[in-house]
Amino acid sequence: MKRIIKATLAILCVSVSVSIAQQNVSGIIVDKQTKEPIPGVNIVIKGEAKGTITDLMGAFQLQVPIDQEISISYLGYETLQMKATADFDQVELAQSSVELNQVVISASRDAQMRSETPVAISSLSAQQIEEAKATSTDQLLNKTPGVYMVDLGNEQHSMAIRQPLSYKSLFLYLEDGVPVRTTGVFNHNALIEMNMASFKNIEVIRGPASSLYGSEAIGGAVNFITLNPTSTLLAKASVQANNLGYKRGDLMFSDTYGKVGVVASTNYATRVDGYRDHSDYEKFALTLKATVELSEKALWSNSMTYVNYRSDAAGSLDSASFYGQEYSSFQTFTDRDVEALRYKSALDYYWDRGSKSSATFFYRSNSVKQNPSYRIKDDYSPWANPGGDENLAHSEVNDNSFNSYGLILQHKEVLNFWNSSMTTGASLDYSPSSYLANYISVHKTDAGVYDGFTPSDSVLTNYETDLINYAGYAQLELNPVAKLHVTAAVRFDRFTYVYDNHLPSNAYSGAPDETNHFNAFTPKVGLNYSISQRSGMYANFSQGFVPPQVSELYRGVKVPTLDPAVFTNYEVGGWFALLNNKASIDVAVYQLNGKDEIINVQQPSGDYANENAGETVHRGVEYGFNYKPISDLYIRLSGTNAQHEFKDYVESGVDFSNNEMATAPSWIANGEITYRPSFVRGLRVGIEWQHMDEYYTDAANTSTYEGFDIFHVRIGYEFKGFETWLNIMNVGDKIYATNVTKSAWGTNYQPGDPRTFNVGLAYKFQK
C-alpha cells in the first residue's frame, strides 16, 4: 500500500512539474507588408516533432515548454525563429524577395503550391506593388516575365502576352478570380476599370487557361487579388503628383471586429494640362470588402468595386510630330467615359482532410461611352473618294453597356489514393448588353485638325444582345509516385447570343434578329516533377478558345457564320533555386498555334466579310531571375524572346502568310536593382530598365520601328509611419513610342511620356 501511495505521489509530482514547465502560446501570424492574417502557417517547437498550423484567420494555439524556441514558416516567406512567450499576440512574416511564386491561387482557383502547378505563372508581391508607387498598371505588369502592357496614356492600354502588341480579345482580366467583363464585349482598355489602391498582389498565368476560366484566356489570364481585412487596425493615406499635371490621393482603412473584418480602399486621380494637348483625365475608384468567420470551417466574403473614369482621347501622332516632339492633338473633342460597378459574394466551406466547397455570386454593371478618335474617317480619299470634301469627316458617338448576373460553384475533394484531389465546378453568366451609336459630322481644318463636330439624330447602330454562357469543368490532380504530380483538366462551354436589332435592314447595322450558339471543349494535361522543395520542372498541353465578339457578328447588314478561334499550346519549363537559395530562376519554353482566327476576308464580289480564316504560330522562351547576393541588395531580370508569324493569313485580299506579325518585337526585357542600406534603415534606392527590340509596324513587313531602352529611378524613405518617395521615370528623357503601327494613311506613333518626376508622401497608422 505504501508503495502504491509513493508511486502515485511521484506521478503527481512529475505531472505538476511538466504542467508548470509548459505554457499555452497563442497568437496571430500576419503578412508584414499587408498585415493580413495568413492561414496555414506552420508553427513547430524547435527540436521536437510537435506543432500546429494557423486557422482561417491566421490564429493558432500551442503548448510550448518555457524558454523554448519555435519556428514559424510558410512557403514564399522568410522563416522566423523566436522564443515563445505567453503574450505572443501578433507576429509578422516577411515575404521572400527570391521565392516569389511558392504559393499561387489562380492556377486552380484555390491556394496551391507552385510545385503542383504545370503552368507558367508568376506573381507580383505586395511589397513590389507598394514600392513601385505606380501611376498606371503597366508600371507593375511590365516587371513580370513574358508580359508587356502597352501604355496608351491615362491608364488606357493594350497587352502583349505570348502575342504581339495586341488590341484583340486574347487576354482575360480577373478580379479575385471573377472576370472583369463578360465574354463577347472585350475591351482592350478593361484595366482602367480596376482600383489600383485595392491591389494586394497580381498573378499572371501565361498561355491558355480556358480549361479553368473559359474564353479569352489565350495569351494569358491576369488575376488582380485585392486586399483582405487586417487582424488589427490599419489606416493609410497618401498623396502624390508629377510634373506632367498628374495628381492622386489614396485612402485605406482596415480592421477586424470579433468575427467580422472590413477593408476599404479608394483613390482619386486627375491629370490637367499635361505635355500633350487634349490629354486631361479624371478617375475615382472605391473598393469595399467584408469577411465574416461564420465558424471554424466557414468564411463569407462580400466585396464591391466602383470606378468612374473620364478621359480625353488625344489619338496618335504622325512621324513628323513624334520625332519633332510636337505633342499637339489632331482631335479636340474625342473622349471616353466609363462607369463600372462589380459586386461579389463568396461563401467558402472547408471540410475535413482539406476538401473545400465554394459558391460565388457576382453582379456587374458597365457602361463605356465614347466619341472615339479611331472612328473618324475622312470624306476625301485619294483612292476611294477623290471627289470628297477635304474639310469633312465622319464619325460617331456611342454607348456600349451591359449588366451581368453570374454564379460559380466549385468543390475540391481530397481522394484516398495517390495523394490526389478532384476539383469540379460549374458557372453561369447571363449578361444583357446594348450598343447605341449616332452619326456625327466632323469638321477638319486645312491644317488637318479635327476641331469640332455636329451631332445628329441619325442612328447608325441600335441593338441589344443577351449573352448567356454556362459551363462545367473538372480538374484531377494525382501523385502516382514521389515527386511526380499529374494534372488533367477539361471544360465545356456553351454560349448563346440572342441578338435584337432595333433598326431596319437598310441601316448601317441592319443585320436581322438572330440567335447564335457556340460550343467549346478545352482540355489541359500537365506534369510536375519536384527536384527539391525549391526546384522543379513541368510540361503541359492546353487549349484555349475565343468566341466571336458581338461587334464581329452584328456590326453590318448580315450575320456571318463564325466559329470560336482555337489556340493550342505546348510548353515545358522549370523553376530552380541557385547559389544556396540566394537566387532563383523561372523558365518557360512554348509554342502556341492559333487556328480559325477571325479576320476580314475579301469576297468574290469585292466586298469584305469576317471569316474564320487565319492561322498563326507563336514560339518563345520566357524567364525570370531573382538574386539577393547580400541582405541589402536585390537584383531582378525578366524577359521574353519570341517569334510571332502568320502561317496562313489572307486579310482584306492581301496574303500575309509566312510573314512576321506586326508589332511583334523579338525581345522584351525588364530589369531592376534595389538597394536597401542597412546603415540607413527605411531607405531604398532602385533603378529599372525597360527594353523593347525592333519590330515590323505592318503585316506586309515593309517598315520597322527601332524599339527603345528607357530607365527609371525610384527612391523611397520610411520613418515612424511616414513614407516619402521620388520616382524619376524615363530618367534619360528618351523620345520613344509605346506602340507604332502603319496603315494606308501613314505611320502612327503612340508617344511614351518624357522625363517625369513623381513625388509623394504617405502616412500609415497601425495598432
587, β-bridge pairs: 574, 623
Convert the pLDDT of each residue in 254-272 to its tens digit.
999 999 999 999 999 999 9
Q: What is the pLDDT of residues 237-255, one digit of tens each?
A: 999 999 999 999 999 999 9
Per-residue pLDDT at 633 exceeds 70: yes
User: Taking 70 as the threshold, does the pLDDT of residue 601 lie above it?
Assistant: no
Q: In this model, does residue 565 exceed pLDDT 50?
A: yes
Partners of 491 in the β-ladder: 473, 522
The residue ranking higher by pLDDT, 85 or 444, is 444
Query: Could you give the CA distance from residue 31 to residue 615 in angstroms, rounded to a whole number?
Result: 46
The CA angle 449-451-453, to the nearest 5 degrees, is 130
Mean predicted confidence (pLDDT) in 293-315: 94
The pLDDT tens digits of the residues spanning 518-559 come to 999 999 999 999 988 788 999 999 999 889 889 888 887 778
Mean per-residue pLDDT, 60-64:
80
* 8 A C-beta contact, residue 86 and residue 24: yes
pLDDT of residue 610: 67
Q: How many residues does the chain have?
A: 767
- Range from 8-22, 383-397, 750-764 carrying the lowest mean pLDDT: 8-22
Q: Is pLDDT larger for residue 506 or for residue 110?
A: 506
Angle at 628 between CA 623 and CA 634, to 5 degrees: 80
pLDDT band at 400 (very low <50, low <70, confident <90, very high): very high
What pLDDT, on the 0 to 100 scale, is given for residue 559? 80
Higher pLDDT, 345 or 102: 345
Residue 16 has pLDDT above 60, yes or no: no
Q: In angstroms, rounded to a whole number, what is the distance separating the alpha carbons of residues 731 and 687?
A: 10
**Contact between residue 255 and residue 261 where contact means Cβ atoms under 8 Å apart:** yes
Q: Rounded to two decimals, what is the model's pTM?
A: 0.91
Of 487-501, 649-663, 669-683, 706-720, give the lowest mean pLDDT range: 649-663
Q: What is the 3-state secondary structure (H, E, C) of 290-353?
A: EEEECCCCEEEEEEEEEEEEEEECCCCECHHHHHCCCCCCCECCCEEEEEEEEEEEEEEEECHH
Distance (Å) of CA 476 to CA 102, 109, 381, 422, 522: 21, 14, 58, 5, 15
| Mean pLDDT along residues 122-133 | 92
Domains and CATH numbers, the chain: 2-93 (2.60.40.1120), 103-221 (2.170.130.10), 222-766 (2.40.170.20)
The pLDDT of residue 280 is above 60: yes
pLDDT band at 55 (very low <50, low <70, confident <90, very high): confident
pLDDT at 738 over 80: yes
- Nearest alpha-carbon partner for 729 in 741, 747, 712, 706: 712
Identify the pLDDT of residue 318.
87
* Mean pLDDT score across all residues of the chain: 89
Backbone angles phi, psi at 35, to 5 degrees: 65, 15
The pLDDT confidence band at residue 608, using thresholds 50, 70 and 90, is low
Residue 686's DSSP bridge partners are 674, 714
pLDDT at 210: 81
pLDDT at 687: 98
Q: Is the pLDDT of residue 173 over 90?
A: yes
Residue 155 pLDDT level (bands cut at 50, 70, 90): very high
Q: Which residues of 678-687 are buried (b: 16+ CB within 10 A; e: fewer)?
A: eeeeeebebb
> How is the beta sheet containing 51-53 ordered, strand by strand?
51-53, 42-45, 69-73, 80-83
What pLDDT does 135 receive?
96
pLDDT tens digits, residue range 413-469? 988 888 889 999 999 999 999 999 999 999 999 988 899 999 998 999 999 999 999
578 compared with 33, residue with greater pLDDT:
578
